[in-house]
């Protein structure tokens, strides 16, 4: 079997793993199934299980398959290298823009209905650390799948425009289970991440951008939820 065919099979099964992941955690009545029952939405157990599962399905398993069956390929062939120093300032400005955007948008009802994913409020230090650590794990696997596997192996065959188009289509479809506004935002965000990955030759800028977005979203959403919780407590105490 040729290397291209083997790699195509690995990419196919990696995308299939993502579909299975969506079914497991976001399929109808996922927490009520008798088999493969998933902890209820918003619980710490659910979030930890979801993110660790994603890390293995999207990152570890495809990575093992690639470097076992295709030993001639290198980490750089999938963007697993650091970007050049010239990206430092543009990346920092982009991350600052993401934080600023989330500071303004995180209080919107559409986001507050779903974020932060861990709904046990208030958080202690342990939950904060678990949230950060599991986001890191999950997004390493996630970016390896969407920006590593679904960009670099396609560039030689489809070029930059074709590869970016395929990547955005798949990335957008991966968000169909979410709110329409989040789907639209993911599409725009995916374009930026795709271009950043292609021109830097690295998935790590995309990973850091996604991590910045996730953690800033959690931080500002948590603050709003905590403020609402304290207001309700004060109203109850004053009765």
Tens digits of per-residue pLDDT, 71-92? 889 999 999 999 999 999 999 9
The helix or strand, by DSSP H or E, that contains position 65, with its residue range, turns out to be helix 61-69
- Calculate what percentage of the chain has a pLDDT beyond 90: 67
- The sign of the dihedral angle between the CA atoms of 11, 26, 165, 142 is negative
| pLDDT tens figures, 191-203 | 999 999 999 999 9
pTM: 0.92
Closest of 237, 235, 233 to residue 121, by C-alpha? 233
Q: Other C-beta atoms within 10 Å of 125: how many?
A: 7
Instruction: Round to whole Å and give the CA distance between 195 and 54.
Output: 24
| pLDDT tens figures, 135-178 | 999 999 999 999 999 999 999 999 999 999 999 999 988 887 77
Instruction: Round to whole Å and give the CA distance between 139 and 136.
Output: 5
Q: Would you state the structure tokens that stand for residue 192, as one six-digit string?
A: 């930026």
């Amino acid at each position: 079997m040729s290397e291209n065919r083997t790699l195509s099979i690995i990419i196919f099964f990696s995308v299939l793993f993502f579909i299975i992941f969506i079914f497991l955690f976001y399929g109808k009545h996922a927490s009520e199934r008798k088999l493969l029952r998933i902890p209820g939405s918003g619980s710490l157990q659910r979030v930890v299980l979801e993110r660790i599962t994603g890390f293995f399905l999207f990152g570890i398993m495809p990575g093992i398959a690639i470097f076992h069956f295709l030993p001639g390929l290198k980490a750089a062939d999938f963007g697993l290298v650091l970007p050049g120093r010239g990206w430092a300032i543009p990346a920092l400005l982009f991350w600052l823009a993401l934080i600023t955007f989330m500071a303004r948008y995180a209080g919107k009802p559409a986001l507050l209905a779903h974020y932060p994913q861990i709904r046990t409020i208030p958080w202690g230090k342990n939950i904060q650390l678990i949230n950060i650590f599991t986001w890191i794990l999950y997004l390493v696997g996630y970016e390896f799948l969407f920006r590593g596997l679904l960009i670099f192996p396609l560039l030689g065959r489809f070029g930059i425009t074709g590869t970016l188009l395929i990547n955005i289509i798949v990335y957008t479809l991966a968000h169909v289970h979410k709110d329409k506004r989040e789907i639209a935002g993911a599409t725009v965000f995916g374009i930026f991440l795709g271009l950043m990955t292609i021109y830097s030759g690295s998935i790590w800028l995309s990973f850091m951008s996604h991590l910045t977005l996730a953690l800033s979203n959690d931080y500002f959403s948590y603050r709003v939820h905590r403020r609402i919780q304290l207001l309700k407590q004060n109203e109850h105490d004053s009765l």
